Amino acid sequence: MSGIVWLASYPKSGNTWMRALLANLFLKAEAGADINRLSRDGIATSRRMFDHLTLLDSGLLTETEIDLLRPAVHRAWGGSLAADGAMLPPSDRPLALRRFVKCHDAYTRLSDGTPLLGGGEAASWAILIVRDPRDIAPSFADHRGCSVDEAIALMDDPEAVQGRSIRGQRHQLRQRLLDWSGHASSWLDQKDIPVHLVRYEAMQEDPAATFAAALRFAGVDTDAEAIERAVRLSSFESLRGQEEARGFDEARVGKNFFRRGIAGGWRGALTAAQASRIERRHGAMMLRLGYSASA
What is the binding site for another protein (CB under 8 A)?
Answer: 36, 47-48, 51-62, 64-65, 68-69, 72-73, 75-76, 165-171, 246-249, 251, 253
- Residue 251 amino acid letter: A
Nearest distance in Å: CB 246, another protein: 6
Nearest distance in Å: CB 240, another protein: 14
Distance between CA atoms of residues 19 and 87, nearest Å: 26
For another protein, give the closer residue by CB, 142 or 279.
Answer: 142
Strand partners, 197: 128
For another protein, give the closer residue by CB, 241 or 283.
Answer: 241
Distance between CA atoms of residues 118 and 69, nearest Å: 10
Nearest distance in Å: CB 40, another protein: 9
Nearest distance in Å: CB 58, another protein: 7
For another protein, give the closer residue by CB, 54 or 222.
Answer: 54
**Helix ranges, the chain (H):** 15-27, 47-54, 63-86, 93-96, 133-144, 148-155, 180-189, 200-205, 207-217, 224-233, 236-246, 266-269, 272-289
Nearest distance in Å: CB 101, another protein: 16
- DSSP state letters, 185-198: HHHHH-SSS-EEEE
Nearest distance in Å: CB 142, another protein: 17
For another protein, give the closer residue by CB, 61 or 213.
Answer: 61
Nearest distance in Å: CB 201, another protein: 29
For another protein, give the closer residue by CB, 69 or 269.
Answer: 69
Strands 195-199 and 175-176: unpaired
Distance between CA atoms of residues 226 and 25, nearest Å: 6
User: What angle is formed at CA 174 by the lines to CA 250 and CA 79, rounded to 5 degrees?
Assistant: 90
For another protein, give the closer residue by CB, 7 or 73.
Answer: 73
For another protein, give the closer residue by CB, 122 or 275.
Answer: 122
Distance between CA atoms of residues 139 and 266, nearest Å: 9
Distance between CA atoms of residues 229 and 288, nearest Å: 32
